[in-house]
């Protein structure tokens, strides 16, 4: 039996207070166009990635030759249409299955990614893999598995990887790592790991951080369901869905989520610090998205729920989610600011990361909410007074649900995906501002 994903629902009580930040809401006019419709399987919930020639790449968690997922590429045809080619179809075995994270390129054009399951070790078929796809001269690609998770202290269900300038890979696992954990049969509430290439072509795996609830360690976060990003000095940043030092309403879930930082030490180990713990109030709860930096070093992200109000599609969840900014202070602490609190009709459940354009505007998606409760595409524009103007350009009709963030090409067009609709299993769409 294939592993089933665990229900990741954060339920808590929240005290509603007035929102201090005023947000102006407008309609943002832009051209929306579907460039590809999926017929066999929906795209994964992570952003598309462009190669050097401007072709978008992504993954499907299912589908392919044996139904266990694919890595695909879209190519623009002379007549303006797009063609999808499958670079690799997973075989449900030692090569992995269910790739759900974003992929990354190295300088040589190799692709790296993760499969949530498979690999053949533990977890009823495998606890996930980190893989490489290497291009061949004839246009085909060869898959190499860099690491197979065993389901113990090394982690279970890898999320995605990022790459540094030296070619080292860094990532997170949602489960595993050892120790106690709520609702996890694998032991442990996730890990942060590193994979380092060796001269002989092998890779060395190392756990940088293990999350669990033993000895109140949950205050540092549990369940890291986002990827990682670097700052200019080599520190890593990410979010955990639970954990942190949230208020009383967060106790039953061992916290409402946290933003954390990992700092490399001279001896090769890493130290963790929590930059912010969500309180399940207007600030939100349950962050799941990748973070993003601006040029000034501020961090931006979303929370899947929390905020103010009630969501039609999530009766047991307080609030429809938020967009937040964290600003560093000279003393090393960080200050949180709400940029937008979703109320349902303007969007809800923002689970994806966001993107900046060259003018400093933020773009993102919500998987639910809007006039049809099927998601929206939104834009946040910074204002001279320090506030942000919220606008939406696309309200999806029933059966759409954009769960991935938007990625911008060299011409300023935005690309994203939906996980359903389009007379099939979702679409790739383009928005021209």
CA separation for the pair 355, 118 (Å, rounded)? 31
CA separation for the pair 62, 167 (Å, rounded)? 28
Closest CA to 169 of 124, 142, 129: 129
Q: Which two tokens stand for residue 125?
A: 């078929």
Please give the pLDDT value at position 240: 96
Numbers of helices and strands, H then E, in the chain = 0, 30
Give the helix/strand (H/E) hosting 366.
strand 362-366
**Are 173 and 156 a contacting pair, CB within 8 Å?**
yes
Query: If the chain, 433 residues long, is cut into consecutive pieces of 10 residues, what is the mean pLDDT of each piece?
Result: 34 28 50 92 92 95 95 96 97 96 96 96 90 97 97 94 97 92 81 97 97 86 94 97 83 83 95 94 91 97 85 66 96 96 92 94 94 93 96 84 94 94 90 88
Domains of the chain, first to last:
24-432 (2.130.10.80)
Please give the pLDDT value at position 20: 31
- The model's pTM is 0.91
CA separation for the pair 351, 203 (Å, rounded)? 32
């Amino acid at each position: 039996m294939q592993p089933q994903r665990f229900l990741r629902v954060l339920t808590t009580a929240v005290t509603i207070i007035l929102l201090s930040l005023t947000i102006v809401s407008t309609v943002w006019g832009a051209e929306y166009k579907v460039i590809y419709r999926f017929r066999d399987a929906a795209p994964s919930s992570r952003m598309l990635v462009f190669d050097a020639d401007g072709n978008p790449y992504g993954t499907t968690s299912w589908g392919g030759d044996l139904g266990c997922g694919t890595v695909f590429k879209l190519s623009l045809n002379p007549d303006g249409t797009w063609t999808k080619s499958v670079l690799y179809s997973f075989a449900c075995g030692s090569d992995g299955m269910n790739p759900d994270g974003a992929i990354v390129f190295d300088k040589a054009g190799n692709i790296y990614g993760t499969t949530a399951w498979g690999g053949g070790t533990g977890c009823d078929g495998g606890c996930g893999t980190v893989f490489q796809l290497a291009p061949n001269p004839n246009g085909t690609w060869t898959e190499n598995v860099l690491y197979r998770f065993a389901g113990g202290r090394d982690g279970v269900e890898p999320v995605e990887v990022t790459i540094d300038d030296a070619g080292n890979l860094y990532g997170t696992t949602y489960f595993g790592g050892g120790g106690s954990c709520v609702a996890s049969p694998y032991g442990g509430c996730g890990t942060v790991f590193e994979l380092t290439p060796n001269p002989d072509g092998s890779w060395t795996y190392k756990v940088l951080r293990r999350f669990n609830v033993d000895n109140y360690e949950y205050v540092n976060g549990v369940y890291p369901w986002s990827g990682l990003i670097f700052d200019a000095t080599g520190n890593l940043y990410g979010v955990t869905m639970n954990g942190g030092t949230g208020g009383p309403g967060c106790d039953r879930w061992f916290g409402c989520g946290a933003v954390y930082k990992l700092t490399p030490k001279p001896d090769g180990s890493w130290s963790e610090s929590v930059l912010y713990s969500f309180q399940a109030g207007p600030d939100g709860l349950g962050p799941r998205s990748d973070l993003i930096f601006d040029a000034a070093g501020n961090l931006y992200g979303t929370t899947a729920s929390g905020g103010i109000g009630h969501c039609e599609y999530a009766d047991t969840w307080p609030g429809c989610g938020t967009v937040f900014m964290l600003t560093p202070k000279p003393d090393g602490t960080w200050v949180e600011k709400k940029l937008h609190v979703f109320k349902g009709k303007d969007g809800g459940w923002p689970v994806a990361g966001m993107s900046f354009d060259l003018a400093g505007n933020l773009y993102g998606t919500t998987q639910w909410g809007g006039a049809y409760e099927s998601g929206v595409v939104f834009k946040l524009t910074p204002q001279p007074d320090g506030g942000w103007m919220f606008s939406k350009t696309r309200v999806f009709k029933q059966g759409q649900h954009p769960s991935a963030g938007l990625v911008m090409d060299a011409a300023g067009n935005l690309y994203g995906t939906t996980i359903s609709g389009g007379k099939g299993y979702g679409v790739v769409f383009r928005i021209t501002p």
